[in-house]
Amino acid sequence: MKILLPAHMLETLRDPVSQIAPGCTLVPVHPAEVPSADLSDAEVLFLPWGFDHSSLEPLLARLPRLRWVHTISAGADHILLPALAAPNVVLTNARGVFSVPIAETVLAYMLAVVKRLPEFLRQQQAHRWHKLELRELDGLTVGIVGLGDIGREVARRCRALGMRVLGLRRDAGPDTDADEVLPPARLHDLLARADFVVIALPLTPQTRGLIDQAALAAMKPDAWLINISRGAVIEEAALIAALREGRIGGACLDVFAEEPLPAENPLWDLPNVIITPHNSWSSPRLEARQVSLFLENLRRYVAGEPLLNVVDPEAGY
């Protein structure tokens, strides 16, 4: 059996993979080039960072016996191709690997807002001593749009700080991590009640542009929007207008429709915006989590057991 592994993880995975699948052949894979080796008998593909439709398509064309694809990312929107929707191919993702660092980043955003850290930093740079009125997170309401692994991790941390948690997901049944769970049809209800709105949705045809002018108009005038999912979930032009006109309090943005964010984009210079460069997932513990998840799924694959984190190509997550 041939297994394609991320080039940067090859040495880390070599021994444990060989123990789970003795006699397998390991082939390094990188988005910048298609391997020169014969791939006609490759069954497993572990996709590293950097692949998109254009780089993945020629690789998939050389894998007639492909049975399982695992992506190093939690989102699958950037790699979903018809070949991955074939009934004989299983696609899995890294759901859960990024939940802790992203949830901690969301809390950092919230604390920076209520404690007005960006303003204090600007005052420090100007050598200005001026006290500001501050708030507490305790007692505020967070609305989490997308109560999946990341959303629930955010919810747990917010509740620990005394916040009320509203969640939104397709299954609106009760959840131990939220005070109330609403169905998608009540999005505007959630937006109207939240002091912070956290976008934690996958990007699908249904969620693209979900946070539009009408959704932004439903938010409180002092509420902050936090996006750690995909930039295209928000209509950027509508967000910029709302921020400029003070119709919402501000935004903390880690993801954008175009990345890197162009230098001329107005978001850079708005005083009520905090920007991070798609960096909320970063942690020195990520690779260990990635390796653990892949090896457990490889063990399951070899044993013929159901895999973890299976992606529904139709749903997009």
Active site residues: 230, 259, 278
- CB-count exposure of residue 89 (10 Å: 0-12, 13-18, 19+): middle
Please tell me the distance from the alpha carbon of residue 311 to that of residue 93, in angstroms, as a whole number: 7
Please tell me the distance from the alpha carbon of residue 258 to that of residue 264, in angstroms, as a whole number: 12
Side chain identity, residue 3: I
Which residues 6+ apart lie within 8 Å of 169 measured at CB? 146, 147, 148, 151, 181, 183, 184
CB distance 148 to 175 below 8 Å: no
φ, ψ dihedrals at 96, nearest 5°: 100, -25
* Euclidean distance between the first and the last CA atom of the chain, given in angstroms as a whole number: 28
CB distance 257 to 208 below 8 Å: no
HEC readout, 223-265: CEEEECCCHHHECHHHHHHHHHCCCCCEEEECCCCCCCCCCCC
Side chain identity, residue 265: N
**Nearest of 224, 107, 193, 199 to residue 157 by alpha carbon:** 107
